[in-house]
Amino acid sequence: MLEEKTTRSFAIGAAAGLTAGLAANAVRKIFVQAPTMMAGEWDAALAAEHQATLAIFDQIEKTEDKHKTRRSILLTQLKHALAKHAIEEENAVYAALRTHGQVAEADHLNNDHGYVKQYLFELSAMATDHPQFLPKVADFRTMIEQHMREEEEKIFPKLRGLLSDEENADLTKAMNQEGLKIA
């Protein structure tokens, strides 16, 4: 009887712990997504993420070969920021581009994302004190800045113009939903 009671209270305790854990995780996710949500509509929010990503590049470029731990922490941050950003764009914005006739543009941007992942893969495989680490980071930055400029100056403004106010608002919502999955 006592054993049964103990088992039951343990199960209730575990369930409460799980619920609290899930709630804490939901709060953490909202916290991670908050800067993007507060940056405004989808295109402004993605531009803010571009700036935050470039700030991580700045930090990496300030390191020296001896700062191995710092480089690996910053590389992890860069990977997380870019994984979330890619899901937001590919699952919402690039899909909206195709729906509105911008198929070649969406496919081109999606192709670039493949090379972003390639750079991250190659940097992860490299010793963080390798003399080619910073030159590879610099090549990566040149490539990703070009991609960001194309999005911000050409392709995203065009999509914004093709969508109604309501569709733009829906896209902002969809983009944040995608971000919360990864946050």
Smallest separation (angstroms) from Fe ion to the CB of 91: 12
- Contacting residues toward Fe ion, per CB under 5 A: 89, 151
Smallest separation (angstroms) from Fe ion to the CB of 114: 11
Instruction: Give whichever of 151 and 178 is closer to Fe ion, judged by the CB atom.
Output: 151
Smallest separation (angstroms) from Fe ion to the CB of 154: 12
Smallest separation (angstroms) from Fe ion to the CB of 36: 11
Instruction: Give whichever of 105 and 151 is closer to Fe ion, judged by the CB atom.
Output: 151
Residues 4, 43: Cα–Cα separation, whole Å: 57
Task: Give the nearest residue (CB) to Fe ion.
Answer: 89
Residue from 122, 143, 150, 176 nearest 54 by CA: 143
Instruction: Give whichever of 71 and 84 is closer to Fe ion, judged by the CB atom.
Output: 84
Q: Residue 40: left if φ>0, alpha if ψ -120 to 50, beta else—which one?
A: left
Segments in the chain forming alpha helices (H): 2-38, 42-61, 68-88, 94-99, 103-125, 133-149, 156-162, 165-182
